[in-house]
Amino acid sequence: MSVYPDPIWGRWLIPPLVVLSFITAGALVSVRAVPFLRLKEINTRFLALLLGIVGGVALLLTPTVWAIIPITRSQSLEPVAGPPQGEGPLSGSQMIDPALIHYLEANRGQAKFLLAVPNAQDDTAGKIMLATNTPVMAMSGFTGSDPILTVNELEVLVKQGTVHFFLLPAKNPQGGPVLARGVQHTQLTDWVEQHCQSVESRLWQSSANGAGPGNVSGSRNQLYNCAVIS
């Protein structure tokens, strides 16, 4: 098992692991010292039992915690052991900004899709679908490289009112895109940026969640409204 590079979880798990390891080491030394200390046989068995219990707990503590985490995370889309990077033992799941959900639902109209995103790999589509029980479009498939739609087909869907809103990677100060995992700056996202209206962040981001790196509606994304051309 590889070491998890998260200082928050390290601060929580390392102390009990160190204590349990010292207890186990002490029990080992005590068992080896029995012949020299002339301890009774019952003490030897007790120390051996203590060694097995404490050593087993020390060995299984981390993998047990890692295995429980994806079971308790109701919004986890990837059943991978361990916490998402940056989360501590007392923090909750990375949630969708409620302000984004409220804005999309209030302005969805008759659109079939609540939102469109570049791909499904970064979990944005899945998290929003779980939070709202409504369909979300992944324009370029799972990885962002599948040619599911052409620009003309996307334009037709927009003009038919099938989808109004697009959540895309925001531009960085140098003008290039801030790409999320698996997101490619395709002709589809270019078309949306050129033809649709960007939505002011104050309308769909809460001040407390807007800048969070783990929040899918944070500052690394920009929301576009294409209803103006439908």
Torsion of Cα atoms, 193 then 195 then 197 then 201, to 10°: -10
The residues pairing with 116 across neighbouring beta strands, listed in sequence order, are: 137, 166
Q: Which ranges of the chain have pLDDT less than 70?
A: 1-10, 27, 30-31, 33-44, 47, 73-95, 171-185, 208-219, 230
Tokens for 156, please give them.
């037709």
What confidence score (pLDDT) does residue 224 get?
95
- According to DSSP, residue 195 is labeled H
Write the CB contacts of 160 (distance below 8 Å, at least 6 apart in sequence). 230
What confidence score (pLDDT) does residue 44 get?
63
What confidence score (pLDDT) does residue 191 get?
92
Helix (H, G, I), strand (E, B) or coil at 171: strand
Burial code (b: 16+ CB inside 10 Å, e: under 16) for 125-163 equals: bbbbbeebebebbbbbbeebeeeebeeeebbebbeeebb
- Half-sphere exposure of residue 159, counting CA atoms within 13 Å on the CB side? 7
- According to DSSP, residue 170 is labeled P
Output the pTM of the full model: 0.57
Burial code (b: 16+ CB inside 10 Å, e: under 16) for 14-47 equals: eeeeeebeebbeebeebbeeeeeeeeeeeeeeeb
Q: In the β-sheet with 221-225, what is the strand arrangement from edge to edge?
A: 136-138, 115-117, 165-169, 221-225, 197-198
Q: What is the pLDDT of residues 150-209, one digit of tens each?
A: 899 999 999 999 999 999 987 665 555 545 444 445 788 889 999 999 999 999 998 755
Write the CB contacts of 101 (distance below 8 Å, at least 6 apart in sequence). 128, 131, 132
Write the CB contacts of 106 (distance below 8 Å, at least 6 apart in sequence). none
What confidence score (pLDDT) does residue 2 get?
42
